[in-house]
Amino acid sequence: MAQDLGPFPPNSVMESKQTAYNVLDAVEASGRHYATSLPMIASENILSPLVARAVSSDLHGRYAEGLPGKRYYQGCDDFDTIESLGIESAKRVFNSKFVNIQSISGTVSNIAALKALSKPGQSITAVSTADGGHISHANMGAVGVRGLDLHTYPWNVERMEPDIDAAAKLIREIEPSVALFGQSVFLFPTPLEELSDAAHEVGASVMYDAAHVLGLVAGGVFQDPLREGADVVTGSSHKTFPGPQGGFLISDSDDPKMHRRLNNAVFPGTCSSYHLHHVAGKAVALAEFEAFGKDYARDIVRNAKALAESLAERGFDVLAEERGYTASHQVLTRHGDKDSGAGRDAAQMLEKAGIITNMNMLPGDTKALSPSGLRLGVPELTRVGMGADQMDQVAHFFQRALIDGHDLNSVKADVELFKDDYTTVQYCFEPGQAYP
């Protein structure tokens, strides 16, 4: 017979309650941290007020396995409306015949696409993580989860893209089931047409991971992977595409069998319930993107170029000068010798100065925790209304913190004063406070 332990000890309820309040205090502190800083993580963005309403709704605790009109639970009629509207909006935004909006992240989207396009033991080609490929493209991530035999493309360091001739040769030699393109460090469009031709010659499916650049693709300012040979595009819904955290699977295939394979790869393949509140948030974000996305995408790229040029003028080593530094939302800077940890040190100093970035491996680095570089992103700064003039001011803060040796607390105070004018979400139906 189980022992009756009685009620919790008297102090445990109070301690548990205090833990809950400590968590909420930390949540609020995080909001203040970002509200008073310059958030420049390339994979981050913020929610519009309408998207936040959808995400914080009753849907957060509901289930709706299946597709609109084909559910395993009752009570889904309203969610059928939400998902159907979101799918139709997504088809327009991405100019595609098929979109699944259920995936809960970009990585889950990649696992699902690989499930639909390949079988364990088959070969895949992708960008190496050392050259900027995402961890889901590696054996440590989705590629390894699917049990695929990974081969990485030869890399053109000067152009920050796969070496076209050598990568095409690799694809023809390996004859992979999937030729995967796209990366986490993503400055320039992939030479997709040339490499897609090689992949299709050997019967490979072409998969393009647009997680970082999906908003730029949809906004028409980067490249058009579906028209350049991609069979399936995956992406995140919270980077340059300004929605809640989640993912997409996109295809322009006319084949209903392909549509079923992609849908089934998400449910039941990789998700049971798929976070209905985030699906609703995506649907709202898609509607807002139809109205404001082209302007937002254009301004992101303009700001990234302006930031890169200002940093270079102020003495920073900005990569890819010969190509104009960037054609995306990202800027890469080198701060010391390879594997020196100078990027890590710079990121830590910048946070003390009120600037939130991430250290990043650059070509030649081999140690992820002591790289030489920083990866800088401008989606959030753009979303709160900053333009080219403000990018020059941001570069000045970098100079003060990392080159001029100013007191970091003094820089942080000036950053807070500067940021106070940029706390309203733009490019949405109801502009409002960016930081709760």
Average pLDDT, the chain: 96
pLDDT for 5 equals: 53
Backbone angles phi, psi at 332, to 5 degrees: -115, 135
User: What pLDDT, in 10s, does the model give residues 4-19?
Assistant: 555 666 678 888 999 9
How many other C-beta atoms can be found within 10 angstroms of the C-beta atom of residue 75? 10
pTM of the predicted protein model? 0.95
Domain boundaries 50-289, CATH class: alpha beta
385 has pLDDT over 80 = yes
The full set of domain ranges for the chain reads: 50-289, 293-433
- Residues 6+ positions from 41 with CB-CB distance below 8 Å: 356, 357, 358, 377, 380
- The CA distance from 52 to 89, in Å, is 19
116 - beta bridge partners?
Answer: none
Q: How far is CA 210 from the centre of its chain?
A: 8
Q: How far is CA 97 from the centre of its chain?
A: 23
Which single residue is written with the structure tokens 């958030």?
39
User: What pLDDT, in 10s, does the model give residues 21-67?
Assistant: 999 999 999 999 999 999 999 999 999 999 999 999 999 999 999 99
Pick the CATH number of 293-433 from 3.30.930.10, 3.20.20.30, 3.90.1150.10, 3.40.50.1980: 3.90.1150.10
User: What pLDDT, in 10s, does the model give residues 253-295?
Assistant: 999 999 999 999 999 999 998 999 999 999 999 999 999 999 9
CA dihedral 71, 73, 79, 85 (to 10 degrees): 0
pLDDT for 85 equals: 98
105 has pLDDT over 70 = yes
pLDDT for 4 equals: 57
Q: How far is CA 82 from the centre of its chain?
A: 23
CB-based burial label for 49 (10 Å; 0-12, 13-18, 19+): middle
Q: How far is CA 431 from the centre of its chain?
A: 23
pLDDT for 436 equals: 80
pLDDT for 7 equals: 61
1 has pLDDT over 70 = no
129 has pLDDT over 70 = yes
Residue percentage of the chain with pLDDT more than 70: 98
Average pLDDT for 72-80? 96
Sign of the CA dihedral 330, 335, 339, 345? Answer: negative
User: What pLDDT, in 10s, does the model give residues 315-346?
Assistant: 999 999 999 999 999 999 999 999 999 999 99
Average pLDDT for 178-200? 97
pLDDT for 92 equals: 98
pLDDT for 6 equals: 58
User: What pLDDT, in 10s, does the model give residues 221-234?
Assistant: 999 999 999 999 99
- The CA distance from 183 to 206, in Å, is 14
208 has pLDDT over 60 = yes
How many other C-beta atoms can be found within 10 angstroms of the C-beta atom of residue 20? 10
355: which 2 tokens?
């600037």
Q: Report residue 2's pLDDT band, with 50, 70 and 90 as the boundaries.
A: low
